[in-house]
Amino acid sequence: MFDVNKIRNDFPMIRNHPDLIYLDSGATSFKPQCVIDEVVKYYEWENANIHRGDYDISFRVSKIYDDTRKTVADFIGAERPECIVYTYGATSSLNTVAINAGKKFLQKGDVILTSQVEHASDILPWFKAAEASGAEIRYIPFDEHAVFNLDEYEKCFSDNRVKIVALPYVSNVMGYIYPVKEIVKIAHEHGALVSIDGAQAVPHLKVDVSDLDVDFLSFSSHKMLGPAGIGILYGKFDLLEQMDPIFYGGGSNARFYENGEIILQKTPEKFEAGTPCIEGVLGLRKAIEYLESIGMDEVMEYGIELSDYFIEKLEQLDNVEVYNRGSKAGIVTFNLKGIFAQDAASYFNRLGISVRTGNHCAKLLHHVIHVNETIRASMHIYNTKEEIDRFVDVIRDTTIEKCVDSVL
Ligand SMILES: Cc1ncc(COP(=O)(O)O)c(C=O)c1O
């Protein structure tokens, strides 16, 4: 049974800051003790490089590192461990896909179909892919609540030019869960590949890439209770086989010659030049085991419960405008009427409440929702309804004077 108090005990950040209400897990999540212990254990007991040492400690750590590919593959339903590429985070995964698409999968006149809801990491690389290939960017029309509409999406394929679809599974500002399975089905019917930004989805939902039939999925460990500096690119094996590494160097080549010829390692090692974030991989494994011990269905249900509860409470207040009523993944985005978002956040900060304000790296979203700056409260399994109640009480009593005082 889901027991939030027991879960809270697993997180040193919560034990060490008992009065803090942390509502910025969309930026990065707290880490449970088992993840921290694993990282410390690596440095205290297993500190060796992988695949490079002829001694026991290196063998041991290499094996755990290699085996973790299967842990990740099983976690997201990937067909085989070789479909899992270790990267430095969602941003580096998304760049790997887009840079390759620009070189290999796109040509002049093709269309990259995306949206104005995208995080910078899922749009700037596509701008570059368009520049490199001569393809053009097309945005799916959304209503003013940034709600995804499958009919509008399908219309975007009418000229048969869409070759790549790049969308999030969960928007980092709106918190909506996109209908990825249908998105992929329609794209494939029109011969397009689909790259999904899973940064805000994998930490909160049960994701099954085989069932979704998605071509690429990118995500970061640090948003899913794991260490920073490590991310995952899932790709269908035959697509990964066609792609080139972004970086070249040690570990990713089998041989090279004076004439510049490089014989790369097999997929996925060919993408992983240089010493990777070893402790990050070990910690990610623990984070996955931890999430699985709770159960991803329970994690998802709890995220929905918190979002629904928070939005319902906020909607009872006269001084608040909520922008994402349909949010389901623990993300609630709102403003206090007549108060600049950052001023409100400074006031909340003085009361021990951590939120994020601004455009949340989604710098085109204001064209859709017609608001530049918002307050985003993003939650994870360690947040509680009591925290929401305390925050809602603060919001109810927030005035412009209190906010200005806290800024001065
Ligand atoms: C939707 C989305 N995509 C991509 C990223 C980039 O993730 P990272 O900074 O871990 O590379 C983020 C980070 O906030 C995000 O929210």
Q: Within this chain, do residues 151 and 275 fall inside the same structural domain, yes or no?
A: yes
Check residue 405 and give its pLDDT: 80
What's the chain's length in residues?
Answer: 408
> What are the start-end ranges of the E strands in 42-190?
84-87, 111-114, 136-139, 162-168
Q: Quick one: which atom of ligand 1 is closest to the CA of 223?
A: 10
For the chain, the straight-line distance linking the first and the last C-alpha, in angstroms and rounded, comes to 46
Q: How many domains does the chain have?
A: 2
From 250, 274, 293, give the residue that closes a domain. 293
Q: Within this chain, do residues 24 and 50 fall inside the same structural domain, yes or no?
A: no
Check residue 173 and give its pLDDT: 87
Q: Within this chain, do residues 117 and 217 fall inside the same structural domain, yes or no?
A: yes
Cα 302 to middle of ligand 1, angstroms: 22
Residue 361 appears among annotated catalytic residues: yes
How far is residue 143's CA from residue 140's CA, in Å, rounded to a whole number?
10
Which residues span the domain enclosing 232? 36-293
Q: Within this chain, do residues 345 and 248 fall inside the same structural domain, yes or no?
A: no
**Quick one: tokens of 285?**
């494994």
How far is residue 288's CA from residue 285's CA, in Å, rounded to a whole number?
5
Ligand 1 near 374 CB (within 6 A): no
Residues 201-218, buried b or exposed e (16+ Cβ, 10 A)? Answer: bbbbbbbebeebebbbbb
Query: pLDDT tens, position by position, for the chain (408 residues)?
Result: 889 999 999 999 999 999 999 999 999 999 999 999 999 999 999 999 999 899 999 999 999 999 999 999 999 999 999 999 999 999 999 999 999 999 999 999 999 999 999 899 999 999 999 999 999 999 999 999 889 999 999 999 999 999 999 999 999 988 999 999 999 999 999 999 999 999 999 999 999 999 999 999 999 999 999 999 999 999 999 999 999 999 999 999 999 999 999 999 999 999 999 999 999 999 999 999 999 999 999 999 999 999 999 999 999 999 999 999 989 899 999 999 999 999 999 999 999 999 999 888 899 989 888 898 999 999 999 999 999 999 999 999 999 999 988 766
Q: Within this chain, do residues 163 and 273 fall inside the same structural domain, yes or no?
A: yes
Amino acid identity of residue 249, one-letter, is G
Check which CATH number belongs to the domain holding 383 and give it: 3.90.1150.10
Q: Within this chain, do residues 278 and 360 fall inside the same structural domain, yes or no?
A: no
Q: Within this chain, do residues 261 and 361 fall inside the same structural domain, yes or no?
A: no
Residue nearest to atom 15 of ligand 1 (CA): 199
Cα 28 to middle of ligand 1, angstroms: 9
The answer to whether 83 and 216 have CB atoms below 8 angstroms apart is no
Contacts of residue 397, defined as CB under 8 A and 6 or more positions apart, other chains included, come to none
Check residue 79 and give its pLDDT: 96
Q: Within this chain, do residues 57 and 135 fall inside the same structural domain, yes or no?
A: yes
Q: Within this chain, do residues 342 and 375 fall inside the same structural domain, yes or no?
A: yes
From 293, 314, 334, give the residue that closes a domain. 293
Amino acid identity of residue 26, one-letter, is G
Q: Quick one: which atom of ligand 1 is closest to the CA of 170?
A: 1
The closest of 113, 75, 33, 89 to 283, measured between CA atoms, is 33
**Quick one: tokens of 304?**
């929905």
Read out DSSP for 151-211? HHHHHTTTTS-EEEEEEESB-TTT-PBP-HHHHHHHHHHTT-EEEEE-TTTTTTS---HHH
Residue nearest to atom 16 of ligand 1 (CA): 172
Q: Within this chain, do residues 307 and 285 fall inside the same structural domain, yes or no?
A: no
The closest of 79, 16, 65, 2 to 284, measured between CA atoms, is 65
For Cα atoms 275, 104, 148, give the angle at the middle one, nearest 5 degrees.
90
Cα 196 to middle of ligand 1, angstroms: 12
How far is residue 260's CA from residue 210's CA, in Å, rounded to a whole number?
38
Cα 151 to middle of ligand 1, angstroms: 27
Ligand 1 near 172 CB (within 6 A): yes
Ligand 1 near 252 CB (within 6 A): no
From 255, 273, 293, give the residue that closes a domain. 293
How far is residue 302's CA from residue 141's CA, in Å, rounded to a whole number?
31
Q: Within this chain, do residues 284 and 173 fall inside the same structural domain, yes or no?
A: yes
Q: Within this chain, do residues 211 and 102 fall inside the same structural domain, yes or no?
A: yes
Check which CATH number belongs to the domain holding 137 and give it: 3.40.640.10
